[in-house]
Amino acid sequence: MSTDWITRAETSADIPAVRAIELAAFDTPLEADLVDALRADEAWIEGLSVVAAGADGTPVGHALLTRCHIGDVPALCLGPVAVLPEHQGTGAGAAAVRAALLAAAERGERYVVVLGHPSYYPRFGFTRASAHGIGVTIDVPDEALMALALDPGHPLPAGTVRYAAPFGI
């Protein structure tokens, strides 16, 4: 099983594979449907949907960053992040997340929020959002909402996260 993941921006040819990854990684089609809806939304940013592929080029992992706002400040939302079950635990998801965050930083993006597993995302530098005065309008465990400043010269702004419409938040 490969652990040398090739990461790259999603292409139109990857769309069926990305959907298959999302469907396999989650118990319901909600995440796969969310990715499809985001692809058609103004929040979509070309180049920030990243796949992790093995040596044969077949995507096995996916990480998505889309536009959101912290208060009125533009930011990015990380998620969904998904890996085919047979490749989970191999670093494919982490490779996709790191590549997506790097691509965002290279584009001059400054802030990323994630609503996810509190033991997974801190490895990428995410910290509890509430410590920065960042919240959401839905009831979530405090430790599950995390934020990251991609540029240490620009500390995280305080405010309420406004997600893209397809999130329904």
Give the model confidence (pLDDT) of 74-94 as tens digits.
Answer: 999 999 999 999 999 999 999
Contacts (Cβ under 8 Å, ≥6 apart) of 137: 160, 169
Contacts (Cβ under 8 Å, ≥6 apart) of 35: 18, 19, 22, 49, 62, 64, 80
The pLDDT, as a whole number, for residue 4 is: 85
Torsion of CA 101, 107, 108, 111, to 10 degrees: -30
Place of tokens 């309420």: 160
| CA–CA separation, 149 and 142 (whole Å) | 18
The pLDDT, as a whole number, for residue 169 is: 87
Contact predicate 61/96, CB 8 Å = yes
Two structure tokens written together for 18: 């990305």
| CA–CA separation, 155 and 92 (whole Å) | 29
- Taking 50 as the pLDDT cut, the residues of the chain under it are 1-2
| CA–CA separation, 100 and 74 (whole Å) | 17
Per DSSP, 118 falls in state T
Residue-by-residue DSSP string for 38-63: HHTSTT--TT-EEEEE-TT--EEEEE
| CA–CA separation, 109 and 96 (whole Å) | 17
Amino acid identity for residue 16 in this structure: P
H or E element in which residue 128 lies: strand 127-128
